[in-house]
Homo-oligomer: A and B are copies of this chain.
């Protein structure tokens, strides 16, 4: 007897329907399928094998036809290149959207602090470009007025401060409320980071509207709002979602991809790569991210195309040039000093910190999200957002490192102190007689650095906790930037500490040999970067893609080893505490059907042990190939809820002939009753080639061979479960029949197993 878990309702899976009736008929069959055939219902899992072989048939048909006429030849060529065209479009669209988001987010973030008189649409930086002030205090220019300056006419005094504070909070609340209301009202799917869902979709699940145009529009807008509201969230995850929406929507331009779920998923993988590529300006990292993190079925062709899409996107973004500097990458860093082997110790410490934080974050975030799902807290998303935003804003304003946007903070932390640096982090006790060129020697930290340390410590504590409550709210929220910020702060703190240690105690044994008096041996910025990598790795469990992204940020192979050491340590530590990364955890939390490719089976089970029917269930419901009448079949359909039935030779010898799906049976019987005359309840249904010998008196018979799947996947009841799961993963099956000595004792497995 067959039964499917609810998450995978029936679906048509006679993918070689034409296999046995010869090519021609199959082609017709492909061209004009019965209504409802070949589509999936919402929240279904697709049948990869079938989709792929459908595409192969399509391809074969086109190539065979291409010899006939020039027109067909052109068609086949255009068909071959449509994929590349699609990638180009995705890259362009994703790149420009990312640019748009960056620019507007930048502007609105500054809007919280003040406005530009030269034109309110200028952000702080542009505003001061206009005015010809000196380079150093470019952020103080007459055109730019803080709110207090605008309203009171001056920016000094407690009252002005309070006014600015007030405006900051008000704007933040305004933005976030607008965001949550938009999401709630128009596109509920637009919330969150979207990567867990995209992972699930790429694994073959169908969530209608999740990648639709409304989600795209709303997510783009609300992402800007959420980011500029100063909440502790990033735009990277959502950008992947946005890019995938672009991909999905653009798929509709090409029949090849519109009609085939498997092909479309290839496009989506590429789109995800483009998303990361624009998020960080790291094309290669993006492709590897898509390969390592989100994708399920990733053929080489897709690799190459994703790379193309990622590049196009990156360059579109660059030509829009949102960061003012014509840099591709989000955080451009340039370090001058090599690192010393001994520094691996602090780097590994950072790795451990990252791992611990990652595990801690995942646990508490999941716990919080579960409470949100279960308790009635979840009923008031707007209130929740309001409260969290208020708290965040109130805590953020007094501390300049939390007041500035998180990405600014990160790039300041990554930054290595040059001579001209005006930042507080670089307020060292200068002795310019010992400066040579650009790289300054280690120096004693000035008061500025010490205050910065305190503020950073506070910022660290705040971010650690607030992020837990922020991620998972009903606004678009990415996780990369906050985790990186946490790591970067911790790293910078450690880096400065090391630097001071090296300065004051350069005679210690550990420093001897590589860090002499007045030399520049410690680069705090590098520590920040390593810390960021460690925390990001701890949360997402990315490895290669993470390191490659960081490598593309620095553009120097020198620093790969520290990054790698940290990433590896953090992954090991985090894995030791909890196996799954944040995305898998959320997938499980939301109960999406996802067959994790990484997990191992701890105990040994056989197909026999997990199959239905269980030993003491009623026997398997089967349909015989040429002895059942229409009403028999209809009664079976009505009595049982299973999505398909094995067809056997006869009840006595339960030899498996094929597999027929409930949906097809219903459709085609109805069809026959309507169109085909002489079909009555007593007429026999047969799945064989030739009609069975029956008395001439009997009513005309119904041949349903065309809907019979003659090559169902079968395993013997002795097959170990790992192998069965392997088959499911690698071939992307939806169900599988279990045979015992060739006879049906069938049971389904489906991608949600186990």
**Interface, chain A (partner B; CB < 8 A):** 16, 19-20, 23, 26, 49, 52-53, 56-57, 59-60, 63, 283-284, 287, 291-292, 300, 303-304, 307-308, 311, 314-315, 328, 543-544, 547-548, 551-552, 555-557, 560-561, 564, 568, 597-598, 600-604, 606-607, 649, 653, 655-658, 710-712, 714-716, 718-720, 722-723, 726-727, 730-731, 739, 741-744
User: How far, in angstroms, from A597 to B299 measured CA to CA in the complex?
Assistant: 10
Q: Which residues from chain B contact A303 at a C-beta distance below 8 Å?
A: 291-292, 544
Question: Contact: B718 with A19, CB < 8 Å?
Answer: yes
Residue from B314, B603, B718, B741 in contact with A16 in the complex, judged by beta carbons closer than 8 Å: B718
User: How far, in angstroms, from A23 to B606 measured CA to CA in the complex?
Assistant: 11
User: How far, in angstroms, from A453 to B304 measured CA to CA in the complex?
Assistant: 35
Question: Contact: B56 with A601, CB < 8 Å?
Answer: yes
Which 8 residue pairs of A and B lie closest in terms of their CB atoms, listed nearest first?
A742-B742, A710-B718, A711-B719, A655-B742, A730-B730, A655-B741, A304-B543, A711-B716
Question: Contact: B719 with A598, CB < 8 Å?
Answer: no
- What is the minimal beta-carbon distance from A53 to any residue of chain B, in angstroms? 6
- What is the minimal beta-carbon distance from A740 to any residue of chain B, in angstroms? 9
Question: Contact: B60 with A602, CB < 8 Å?
Answer: yes
> Which residue of chain B lies nearest to A568 when distances are taken between CB atoms in the complex?
B308
Question: Contact: A731 with B741, CB < 8 Å?
Answer: no
> Which residue of chain B lies nearest to A656 when distances are taken between CB atoms in the complex?
B742
In the complex, 22 of the A-B residue pairs with CB atoms within 8 angstroms, ordered by the A residue number, are A19-B604, A52-B726, A63-B602, A283-B557, A284-B548, A287-B544, A291-B303, A292-B300, A300-B597, A304-B544, A307-B543, A307-B544, A308-B564, A555-B556, A649-B741, A655-B655, A655-B741, A711-B718, A711-B719, A727-B731, A730-B730, A739-B742
Q: Which residues from chain B contact A607 at a C-beta distance below 8 Å?
A: 711
Residue from B552, B600, B715, B731 in contact with A726 in the complex, judged by beta carbons closer than 8 Å: B731
- What is the minimal beta-carbon distance from A717 to any residue of chain B, in angstroms? 8
Q: A283-B560, A555-B555, A742-B743 are in contact. Are A49 and B711 (CB under 8 A)?
A: no
Q: Which residues from chain B contact A544 at a C-beta distance below 8 Å?
A: 287, 303-304, 307
User: How far, in angstroms, from A723 to B606 measured CA to CA in the complex?
Assistant: 25
Quick one: copies of this chain in the complex? 2
Given contacts A655-B741, A726-B731, A739-B742, 17 further A-B contacts (CB under 8 A): A19-B719, A19-B720, A20-B718, A56-B601, A57-B604, A284-B284, A284-B548, A292-B300, A308-B568, A311-B560, A555-B556, A653-B653, A655-B655, A711-B718, A711-B719, A711-B723, A714-B716
Residue from B561, B568, B604 in contact with A315 in the complex, judged by beta carbons closer than 8 Å: B561
User: How far, in angstroms, from A564 to B84 measured CA to CA in the complex?
Assistant: 13
> Which residue of chain B lies nearest to A327 when distances are taken between CB atoms in the complex?
B557
Question: Contact: B720 with A716, CB < 8 Å?
Answer: no
Question: Contact: B656 with A564, CB < 8 Å?
Answer: no
Q: Which residues from chain B contact A60 at a C-beta distance below 8 Å?
A: 601-604
User: How far, in angstroms, from A136 to B19 measured CA to CA in the complex?
Assistant: 74
> Which residue of chain B lies nearest to A303 when distances are taken between CB atoms in the complex?
B544
Residue from B16, B63, B283, B742 in contact with A720 in the complex, judged by beta carbons closer than 8 Å: B16
User: How far, in angstroms, from A284 to B547 measured CA to CA in the complex?
Assistant: 10
Q: Which residues from chain B contact A551 at a C-beta distance below 8 Å?
A: 284
User: How far, in angstroms, from A711 to B717 measured CA to CA in the complex?
Assistant: 8
Q: Which residues from chain B contact A311 at a C-beta distance below 8 Å?
A: 560-561, 564
Q: Which residues from chain B contact A300 at a C-beta distance below 8 Å?
A: 292, 597-598
- What is the minimal beta-carbon distance from A644 to any residue of chain B, in angstroms? 16
> Which residue of chain B lies nearest to A63 when distances are taken between CB atoms in the complex?
B602
Q: Which residues from chain B contact A19 at a C-beta distance below 8 Å?
A: 604, 606, 718-720
User: How far, in angstroms, from A26 to B53 measured CA to CA in the complex?
Assistant: 38
> Which residue of chain B lies nearest to A607 when distances are taken between CB atoms in the complex?
B711
> Which residue of chain B lies nearest to A653 when distances are taken between CB atoms in the complex?
B653
> Which residue of chain B lies nearest to A306 when distances are taken between CB atoms in the complex?
B544
User: How far, in angstroms, from A731 to B719 measured CA to CA in the complex?
Assistant: 14
- What is the minimal beta-carbon distance from A17 to any residue of chain B, in angstroms? 11
Residue from B548, B604, B653 in contact with A23 in the complex, judged by beta carbons closer than 8 Å: B604
User: How far, in angstroms, from A604 to B24 measured CA to CA in the complex?
Assistant: 11
> Which residue of chain B lies nearest to A16 when distances are taken between CB atoms in the complex?
B720
User: How far, in angstroms, from A284 to B544 measured CA to CA in the complex?
Assistant: 9
User: How far, in angstroms, from A601 to B53 measured CA to CA in the complex?
Assistant: 11
> Which residue of chain B lies nearest to A23 when distances are taken between CB atoms in the complex?
B604
Most buried by B among A284, A303, A556, A739: A284
